[in-house]
Every structure is written in C-alpha cells, then in structure tokens.
Amino acid sequence: AQSVTQLGSHVSVSEGALVLLRCNYSSSVPPYLFWYVQYPNQGLQLLLKYTTGATLVKGINGFEAEFKKSETSFHLTKPSAHMSDAAEYFCAVTSLRGFQKLVFGTGTRLLVSP
Amino acid sequence: DSGVTQTPKHLITATGQRVTLRCSPRSGDLSVYWYQQSLDQGLQFLIQYYNGEERAKGNILERFSAQQFPDLHSELNLSSLELGDSALYFCASSVDEGSNEQFFGPGTRLTVL
C-alpha cells in the first residue's frame, strides 16, 4: 500500500519569502511522486512530477521539489512567494507501473501575506 | 484548461435520489479516472476505466457505478444519495492505463440536501 503525509494543513508566508511544503511518502515499490495545486473552485493542476532520473525536478511557476529516497520525502519549494501562489497543494504518489491510482495527501493550504 | 470537461458544474439534489455525472477526457486519452474530494475523506480514488473496460477500483461505494462509452466519455452514477455523498467529484484522464500523468477536469460539486 502507498500513502502520503503532508505536514501542516496550513502554511503562512510573506510575499517574497521562501515557500516550503513538506511531503513524506510510503511505498513498497519505486514511487512516482507528484505535486498538484488547486486554486479556489478549480480542478487540480499538475505542478511537477518525479518518475525516474534526476531527483531535483522543476515545475511550473518557479516551483521545484527534490526526491530523497533515504528520507522518503518529496518537499516542494519556491525561493520567493508571490500572492498568486495562495492555493491548496496536494502531494500524491503512485506506483512505477500498472494501474495509476493516485494516492493523495490531505493537502496544505498556502497563505501568502503582503 | 486541461482539456478534460465535466458536466454539470454544480448539482443539488435530495437524499435518496440518483444523479449522473459526465466526463469527457482529453482528445486522444483512453483512460479515465474518478476521484471524490470531501472535507472528511480528502481526495480519494474511486474507479478507473481504460478504453471502455474497468481497470481498477478504489473506495467506491456499491451505490456508485461508472462506465466508459465507445466515444470514451465516462459517466459516474450515484444512487440512493446520502448527505455524506456531498463532495466535489473529479474526473481525470491519461493517454493510456500506464501513463503516470493525469489531467484533471474542473469537477462537479454535488450537494445532497
């Protein structure tokens, strides 16, 4: 079975500050890891993904995440927060092959203050 | 815009009723997934179809069923609705059943009164 834990249901940062959203996963097989963003009243949009290869992955809107197998983590970062980054962020895991059921974390709401 | 469309956008109905949610995948995508997002359960995978065939089942209630039609659109049928079924229902699609990238639609918000 696979699972994802997102630490912190809410994270508050000031505009221009570093954004760090934490995600730890559990998987008995090599994982595929994803970060999705959900803006109010909208669907989920893929920010970035890790499948194989380079462990530091870059996504849209200046976000990046690093896969650390030893720590079973896939934390999301952005050097400088923008007001438009305020949204809910979901980390998800699936397996390397087979049916691609995404298992989501509980989400982290990012609040950005001016 | 992900290219995945869902109708209706909002649905309000009463307990005991039956509703049908519709999803059209991105052009060329053969696999469709349904997810439920609720306050108490979070985002949960319900069911997956690939080219008309059921491929995987998640936490889908027996009162719920789905199908994928020859034109690849999918419908999620929810019956004997309960208050707890109120949620946002998302459809996602991917190129094939093994694809790791799913594209999500805007969702259907179901309110059961």
Q: Is the pLDDT of residue B94 over 60?
A: yes
Q: Which pLDDT value is given to residue A97?
A: 60
Q: CA-CA-CA-CA torsion for B59, B61, B64, B65, nearest 10 degrees?
A: 60
Q: Which pLDDT value is given to residue A60?
A: 94
Contact A24, A5 (CB under 8 A): yes
Instruction: Show the DSSP H helices in chain A as ranges.
Output: none
| Mean pLDDT, chain A, integer | 92
- Select from B26, B36, B45, B47 the residue whose CB has the most chain A CBs within 10 Å, as the one to mutate to test that interface: B45
**Backbone phi, psi, residue B71, to 5°:** -85, 5
- Select from B43, B47, B51, B96 the residue whose CB has the most chain A CBs within 10 Å, as the one to mutate to test that interface: B43
Q: Which pLDDT value is given to residue A43?
A: 87
Q: Which pLDDT value is given to residue B91?
A: 96
Q: For chain A, which residues score pLDDT lower than 70?
A: 96-100
Task: Write the pLDDT tens digit of every residue in B65-91.
Answer: 999 999 999 999 999 999 999 999 999
Distance between CA atoms of residues B76 and B23, nearest Å: 8
Distance between CA atoms of residues A63 and A85, nearest Å: 10
| Mean pLDDT, chain B, integer | 94
B21 pLDDT band, cuts 50/70/90, is very high
How, if at all, do strands B64-68 and A103-104 pair? unpaired
